[in-house]
Structure 1
Amino acid sequence: MQLYPRADRAADAALVDGLALDDAQAAAAFVRRFQRPVYGLALSITRDAALAEDVSQEVFVRAWRAAASYDVRRASVLTWLLTITRNAAIDAVRMRRATPTEGAELEEILTETLRAPDTEQTALRNVERDLVLRRLRELPPEQARAVVLAVIGGCTALEISRLEGIPLGTAKTRIRTGLRRVRQQLEEAHRD
């Protein structure tokens, strides 16, 4: 079973092309098609409905600005858009919080992210996110923790090295290797 058929990928890429050409109908269709997964991921990162709405609007503005540079060979439109969403949501959380996530709150985020999805998470209706989480769970635990700390927790490599009690180079390697493995697994899944 293919999670993201080639025909859908081609239709999505056509919407991005229309977005790049300032086609109002393509822009409206683009937003309608992707608003749920974008909002769902923004909400899962920010944990604030109002902030998630703001992030979602920012994501579509960033996508519009970057539409001309989208490369269908690098990632599906959904993966590209969710990457923008992740970055925008982390930026929004960082703007709201002057200090990085620490202690019990960080452990809660790690535990929640790495455990099996519950009914609240499945309500997000985000197939791509579930696929990423499955791939994340397949990583060695130390790589998975580093990726979650960086992507969800918004921590820098230096902060991760301190939190995990490991050298900075080791933290960077774990993040880079973990992200690379997840990306390769997702690319393989999309090719099928």
Structure 2
Amino acid sequence: MKPKSVELRYYRKWSLSDESLLAGMASGDVRSATVFVRRYQARVYGLARTIVGDPAVAEDVAQEAFVRAWRHAGAYDPRKGRATTWLLTITRNLAVDAARLRREEPVDPHELVTTLLAAQPPDRDQQDEASVRQALRDLPPEQARAVALVVFYAMTSKEVADLEGIPLGTAKTRIRRGLVKLRKRLEVSDG
């Protein structure tokens, strides 16, 4: 019998697609889960750390994100988006929840938007994050802010309107138009 490390290298060598790994996870395959976790552990932890700020909390968020991915792998539908997006959305939601629970002093949303729209993406992520950042930078500033507040702060349209000092309908329009432009730019389909 081969040692596990040799077996795992052999398994990883096949460069299985994310969808195949999620299907394996849905059927309870530990090796698929191991390869999937190793493939995305840095990105998931990096996103969690960016949102919560605390390394220990980020580790907990990352672990919970992978546990949820394992539990709900069977519900993943590749027609609705990429596996990476699905996993990072799980991570983002968990991190936002964790940040809300432990936030002692509020972070200025405009500071977050400025950071997100910074010209240089962090080294930890490559093309996906860079393309999203570029797509955000290409939006008109008011749409970029509205989208970032909704996506990264989980604000409602009403909260965006109040924060920006604009009518609710204007906030909804900025969010909708910004998301439509992002979808087109990133070639994301709704179904």
Same fold (TM over 0.5): yes
Stretch of structure 1 that moved more, 30-39 or 171-180 = 171-180
SS at match of 1:122: coil
Separation in 2, partners of 1:82, 1:112? 18
Match of 2:59 in 1: 53
Aligned residues: 175
Match of 2:28 in 1: 22
Q: Is the 8 A contact 2:161 2:170 kept in 1?
A: yes
Q: 1:122 to 1:17 in 2, by over 3 A?
A: same
Match for 1:113: what amino acid? L
Residue correspondence of structure 1 range 27-42 to structure 2 within 5 A: 27-42=33-48
How much does 1:25 deviate?
0.8
Match for 1:128: what amino acid? D
Q: Is the 8 A contact 2:110 2:145 kept in 1?
A: no
Unaligned runs of 5+ in 2: 1-13
Aligned residues: CA RMSD = 2.1
Match of 2:119 in 1: 116
Q: Is the 8 A contact 2:21 2:36 kept in 1?
A: yes
Q: 1:116 to 1:186 in 2, by over 3 A?
A: same
Match of 2:50 in 1: 44
Unaligned runs of 5+ in 1: 1-6
Residue correspondence of structure 1 range 70-109 to structure 2 within 5 A: 70-97=76-103, 101=106, 105-109=108-112
Larger radius of gyration: 2
Q: 1:155 to 1:80 in 2, by over 3 A?
A: same
Under a length normalisation based on structure 2, what TM-score does the superposition of the two structures give?
0.82
Match for 2:48: what amino acid? A
Match for 1:165: what amino acid? G
The one of the two structures with greater contact order (alpha-carbon pairs below 8 A, sep at least 6) is: 1
How much does 1:61 deviate?
1.4
Q: Is the 8 A contact 2:48 2:58 kept in 1?
A: yes
How much does 1:185 deviate?
2.2
Match for 2:116: what amino acid? T
**How many percent identity over aligned positions?**
51
Match for 2:82: what amino acid? S
Under a length normalisation based on structure 1, what TM-score does the superposition of the two structures give?
0.81
Which of structure 1's runs of 4+ aligned residues deviate more than 4 A? Answer: none
